[in-house]
Amino acid sequence: MATVRNLKIKTSTCKRLVKELHSYEKEVEREAAKTVDMKDKGADPYDLKQQENVLAESRMMIPDCRKRLEAALADLKGTLAKKDFSQAELEEVNQEGPEIEDARSTITEVENLYQTTEDYNRSSY
């Protein structure tokens, strides 16, 4: 049986993973700029190689984060689809706030994120 508490947890997990994904994307941009700057300034080859390794590690985190976000999103969708809330839990939702609506808006936000990312990836090739 899906509980309101589980719904809140799964919604929060998706939101956290979206923030984490954005953080990794910003890190890749920052590290890529730093690598280009080092190349332009003629940095020591060893330092440049280390910076390229940092950039590669940052890039590897994005697919991992996406995979975790996809799993969390599927889990949230499954929980929301069950709609297996007891009458007491439904009353609790109505008293405490819009948890179900929050979950739905999170799902929409993540799906939109994937849509824009797919559009960007197609135009990059």
Closest CA to 51 of 24, 26, 27: 27
112 against 27, higher pLDDT? 27
Closest CA to 4 of 75, 58, 70, 84: 84
**What per-residue confidence (pLDDT) applies to 53?**
94
Statement: the pTM of the whole predicted model exceeds 0.75: no
User: Apex CA 67: angle with CA 63 and CA 73, to 5°?
Assistant: 140
d(CA 14, CA 76): 8
Instruction: Write out pLDDT tens, residues 5-15.
Output: 888 888 899 99
Instruction: Write out pLDDT tens, residues 59-118.
Output: 999 999 999 999 998 888 888 777 655 555 555 555 445 777 777 778 888 888 777 665
